[in-house]
Amino acid sequence: MSLLLDNQFAELPADKSVDTKTFLDNVSTLPPFFDCLGSKVFSIIKSDINGNITKIRAVYDQDPAKYVTLQDIVEAERETHKGEWPKVGATLALMWLKRGLRFIQVLLQSLADGDRDENNPNLIRVNITKAYEHALKRYHGWIVQKVFSAALIAAPYRSNFLKALSKGEEVKDEDCLANVHLFLVNYTPTVDAIYEMYSNLNAELDYTPCFSSAHSYLSEVCSRGRGGSGSSPTGA
């Protein structure tokens, strides 16, 4: 059984609305994906994704009939929080969650497309780098970027990563990549729809943290490495 296909994303309706409960159930199966990447830095992203899912679910559970779709939540918080929106609540949590989901999407698409490093074709560094640069790098200061660059040293072999996605089963690479393709069929449109919603509602916060924010992040990495806890590692 494939880690990615344990809870396959559903096809979106014509209006591209994302059902909240179904979405939360689906994304809740994804954090173990980061265990396959080898470095503790990625476990921080895993923790961040879990935390943001929890925040969104807490809002949804307050009134499931009111918050049928993710857009229902974001629009309701716009009315409730006024000038503080979109820097608060489930809106902010979903903003960072979608960036983590985009990281997964770009990494998997890169693998499916056959992207490889000519010098290290058996590693997935080039795929992780592409995903990080596309989904997260712009929101990190240079110190944080250095942390992620260092994490690439622990990037797993391609074959080991694909085996991990197959839950340790001996599966041919082409069969695992076929599962990746199948997973992306509905996953990618879902992530795209959330990005499009944020753009349409002017809810996106597009900024790069200052040096002090990056330093706080680096401290967070060190703290969690010693068993501590703190704020969102991807910037929230």
Domain range for 177 is 20-220
Listed in sequence order, the residues at least 6 apart from 23 whose beta carbon sits closer than 8 Å to its beta carbon are 70, 190
Query: What is the pTM (predicted TM-score) of this model?
Result: 0.87
CATH of the domain at 109: 1.10.3520.10
Is residue 10 in a domain? no
Is residue 169 in a domain? yes
Task: Report residue 159 as tokens.
Answer: 């074959």
Neighbour count for residue 151 (Cβ, 10 Å): 20
Is residue 228 in a domain? no
Domain count across the chain: 1
The whole-angstrom separation of Cα 187 and Cα 102 is: 10
pLDDT digits (tens, 9 = 90+) for 61-116: 999 999 999 999 999 999 999 999 999 999 999 999 999 999 999 999 999 999 99
Is residue 158 in a domain? yes
Is residue 208 in a domain? yes
The whole-angstrom separation of Cα 162 and Cα 160 is: 5
Is residue 77 in a domain? yes
Is residue 4 in a domain? no
